[in-house]
Amino acid sequence: MRKPLKISIAGLGTVGTGVIELLLKNGSEISRKCEREIEVVAVSALNPNRDRGVDITSFQWFDDPVAMAREIDCDVFVELIGGESGVAKDSCEAAILAGKSVVTANKALIAKCGTDLAFQAEKNNLGLAFEAAVAGGIPIVKSIKEGLAGNKIAGLYGILNGTCNYILTTMRETGRDFQEVLFEAQELGYAEADPGFDVDGIDTAHKLSILSSLAFGNEVNFSDTYIEGIRHISALDIKFANELGYRIKLLGIAQSSEDGVVQRVHPCMLRFDSPVSHVEGVYNAIVVQGDFLGPTVYEGRGAGAGPTASAVVADLVDLARGMITPAFGKPASELDISNVIPIERHIGSYYIRLMVLDRPGVFADVAGVLRDEEVSMEGILQRTRSPDESVPVVMTTHDVEEGAIRRVINRFAEYETVVEKPRIIRIEPLLL
């Protein structure tokens, strides 16, 4: 048997301790598959005395992960600190300069600095691996890089954030509104005390930009991704969606065409028969469209100690086997500069909800705005109340350019009879 693959781990939260647990529990099986052991030789975290449920006394301790990356004699540096810059970035760069491959679960870091880190690693014949950065235990990075390598990928989409999926699922099942369900998710540990990273779509956008680069061979481009979260989704919207035959999901969508790349994150209305409509709770799901294989669906737990640790170890197993491949499927120096198509050019159908005072002339005003902007209405729902109360008016449109819908919404908002900010949700066919 070959000499062990020596690793150091920076960050001993749930994922870091999960990696150690997995290697201790399944070490003999992993060694058999790799024909060598994977040995933890050093760790770094904020508090050396915290009880983490695993014995770390045999590992060399470092208070400074950058120092560990530079100084420790090992083959692979595992970064599980988090954050798009700072010590996470510094320690990964230090590790590469010191001749160590890097494995990370840090989607923010890869979304912002992935192209540069890949270039540095490849220049030094080292590996940069990040299976755990996207969709937890679902092997989507390896599937796109390897299993679908013979296909030209036209597009992909998916549920990439379990917190948002849990909130939307619970809202639908209970009829409760966003804020109440968010508080429950925080109590259960599914949402952070500051939930913006998840519910505002940023986490999904990080992951989508990584998948887009893998799928289309472009430099990672997070900054041009359109991002919209779920705070504005109400129980009323979910009720109407169900009536119309839809589920509401927060999706990341990436598509490639001759005009450029689409990268957008926003709530979508999906038909009940869409491949991901049934995916509920904290689960993730991704659909990838290859030209020869057709659509493939990947589903599983997208977060948590076990699934994410499993993905980290999968990358370590590849490195233990001597498998070092370009991080994004082709050399970083050959990645294309992506031309991301702005959301205003999106063409699709829309759900529009207005809260209006039920007075004469309201529908005439609505119809006039739609006529002026050449937006064709497919259907309408209205619930009546007494004349002094606001009522919801729900419209669905035929396909139209997003720019026209935005002009419609802005004009609706100017009417005194419209008493709340108009809401739109994009209706997506997505039956790849």
Q: Sort strands 423-428 and 347-357 into parallel, antiparallel or unpaired.
A: antiparallel
Q: Sort strands 128-129 and 260-271 into parallel, antiparallel or unpaired.
A: unpaired
Judge whether 23 and 40 are in contact, CB under 8 Å.
yes
Question: Which one of 112, 145, 207, 249 is the catalytic residue?
Answer: 207
What gap in Å lies between CA 278 and CA 289, rounded to an integer? 19
3-state secondary structure of 60: strand
* CA-based nearest residue to 91, from 59, 111, 113: 113
Question: Would you mind telling me the total number of residues written for the chain in this entry?
Answer: 432
> 């120096």: which residue's tokens?
333
Sheet holding 101-104, edge to edge: 60-62, 38-44, 5-10, 76-79, 101-104, 128-129
If one counts every other C-beta atom within 10 angstroms of the C-beta of residue 381, the result is 13
How is residue 339 written in tokens?
Answer: 């031309």
**141: exposed, middle or buried (Cβ count in 10 Å: 0-12, 13-18, 19+):** buried
Judge whether 230 and 267 are in contact, CB under 8 Å.
yes
207 annotated active-site: yes
Sign of the alpha-carbon torsion through 2, 32, 7, 133: positive
> What value does the CA radius of gyration of the chain take, rounded to a whole number of Å?
24
How is residue 211 written in tokens?
Answer: 């998948």
Q: Write 196-199 long-range contacts (CB < 8 A, 24+).
A: 196/229, 198/161, 198/163, 198/164, 199/163, 199/164, 199/167, 199/229, 199/230, 199/231
Residues designated catalytic:
207
